[in-house]
Structure 1
């Protein structure tokens, strides 16, 4: 006498009451995982995201080791937050800008437009990856600056840096969407992004303390998003942040994120042919 086992189909309970169906991750999780793996697997991206900004931290830390700036604050307390702000902004801008340019050039955006996955889900996954990368940069740069050789003094209010990092990533990612919408080639993306980020690094006080800049440059630098991120991180890591100054820096980053986001939405193109 033979017995047969009832066939089961995905989603139907097997004998014993247990389902044989496997949970399928949603599009947001899948896209986030794919974007993160693409970021960490590319050696060039990893180098310019983590190692390249770290070179600036080491060089400036060695050049001005043991020196203090206005108010007696060690120079490393200026350069570490500045390099961190610039590195986070650089990564958040370049990644989405290149991705958007490639997606549009290769007609991937047109394919996304025809799928049930909405574009905000795709961009949201990029934002989550950018935030994760920014937090990893913060841990790495701060750990190096805390080495006794450099002597960064970290105040207990350092958790206040987290909202600044998240808002900074959002602001520069929105700026990256603007650059990616304007540029049609990788060379154009690199040219526009560098023309934006390199001068901003010096004018905002990221590579050179803003307190030592001429007065008119200090005033003009408040139209730059990096100034708000650098100013907030410097105050927080030095333990001199107040509720008012922190709110100003966070509010400035939110404003830039909204403005750049609206501009990106206005000039967005699904394809180079449209």
Structure 2
């Protein structure tokens, strides 16, 4: 995951955006890619230092590693310093990789006189976001909270900080938020070092001072509040009380053998409750499947303005795309990760010798995907109708419900197929998320303008189900029309991919681990 978000994702982002918008030359004869390397490098550095360093450090503390190090000859600070140095090397590697690919394939020029400014800006940015990441670890309790807050802060801020969108005409209040935080200053300082048209040596003292101030604030907070002991753990008792022998506790939703075989309803409801409980205890999964699409739906029209996209308002066009993205995250990323981790712990094999069949275990997780996707859909539609002036034809709500169920079945089956093909849970998320994000750009999910997409990219999008699910949702959420909102052709493609996923699961099986 670290390698994907710090190295692969910025590089893929550079390639896709360059292909979508076209690597045209500006009026000064500079290719567009010249101005894309710096912001994507900033995102890679922030992912490595603010997200990955904080998550790794919180994990070490939660597992008790930092506490145990205090009883060894190794100074504890060396563990943190080593991880900070590692993330610094990863940040430099991400910047060098982006620059090399940009120079080799997209005509990006290295402005040699600005290399000292580039190195200084990179060093200040690494120090600043490393300190902020450790400060966040110091004021939080668990690794899940750290992971959710870092990703939940970084990605939305990237849209208003000249990282994902450079030079956007933001509302005053949103522009002030971006100007007050260090990410925009890092992006602008880095952009200056890649700008071949400007004179001088590329130093931006004002932006560097802002980053230094934020870094000092983070370092002070980290030193003041940082703790080496695991937080949130129950204290050990000096004495223990023997537990009297008695009957084993009952499993929720099941009846004992003496009472008879449990009903299908009891089996399914018990597994759904179990899967939902597991889902709600993972705030990062909830954030990306429920909160993140709603944030993008509200943020994109503000950033891009109130213009039209393919003849529709920005919000009307984005609603089905964000709904499709939420379904794909829940069914193709989150649920397969849970199943793969359960397989790694031996849960799926133990089901072979127990009273609970695998089909009920999987049915509970697929129903959970449906519940989460339905919740995301309701929230997205409510925000769109109440705040973004989107109109939804009530007569097409049955079509929306059908598309939702078929979409969940499609991406859940493809996600399970990925579990069946891949052996390791650690390799699953980089594959699923690493394919979903690029496909989101070529499937009209993430808005990149009203210009037509290159033919080969459009063909790639038409091959996979994400674009067809979005198109079916668009038909079901469009304003009133003569048809009931069923895009039969697109739904047939979604159904075909569902059959392919189920076939792979049938042939490969899920017990391999």
Normalising by structure 1, what TM-score? Answer: 0.82
Question: How much has 1:127 moved relative to structure 2?
Answer: 1.4
| 1:136 paired residue number | 375
1 or 2 for the larger relative contact order (CA 8 Å, sep ≥6)? 1
CA distance in 2, matches of 1:137, 1:244: 20
Deviations 1:7-60 (A, max 9, x none): xxxxxxxxxxxxxx9x97722221111111211232222222212222222221
Aligned to 1:179: 418
Larger Rg: 2
Pick the aligned partner of 2:501 from 243, 255, 260: 260
Please name the residue that 1:231 is paired with. Answer: 471
Aligned to 2:273: 33
Is 1:103–2:342 an aligned residue pair? yes
Cα distance in 2 for residues equivalent to 1:34 and 1:51: 22
Query: Are 1:270 and 2:508 matched, yes or no?
Result: no
Asked if 1:188 corresponds to 2:427, the answer is yes
Select the residue among 46, 51, 74 that pairs with 2:291: 51
For residues 126-184 of structure 1, give each alpha carbon's deviation from its aligned partner in whole angstroms, at most 9, with x where no partner exists. 11111111110001111112233x22222234411111111001110011112222334
How many residues of Structure 1 are paired with residues of Structure 2 in the alignment? Answer: 250
The residue aligned with 1:204 is 443
- Matches of 2:328 and 2:353, distance apart in 1: 32
Name the CA distance, whole Å, in 2 between partners of 1:258 and 1:210: 33
Q: Specify the alignment match of 1:116 in structure 2.
A: 355
Shift of 1:269: 3.9
Shift of 1:271: 4.0
Distance 1:243 1:219, change over 3 A: farther
Equivalent-residue separation in structure 1 for 2:305 and 2:389 (angstroms) = 9
Which of 365, 389, 394 lines up with 1:151 in the alignment?
Answer: 389
TM-score normalised by L of structure 2: 0.45
Question: RMSD across aligned C-alpha pairs, in angstroms?
Answer: 2.5
Cα gap change, 1:106/1:210 in structure 2, threshold over 3 Å: closer, same or farther? farther
8 A Cα contact 1:99 1:180, kept in partner:
no
Question: Whole-Å Cα distance in 2 between the matches of residues 241 and 258 of structure 1?
Answer: 31
Ranges of 4+ aligned residues in structure 1 off by more than 6 Å: none
- Secondary structure of the 2:392 match is coil
After superposing the two structures, state which structure 1 stretch, 119-128 or 24-33, moved more: 24-33
Rounded to whole Å, the distance in 1 between the matches of 2:466 and 2:334 is 17
Structure 2 gaps, min length 5? 1-258
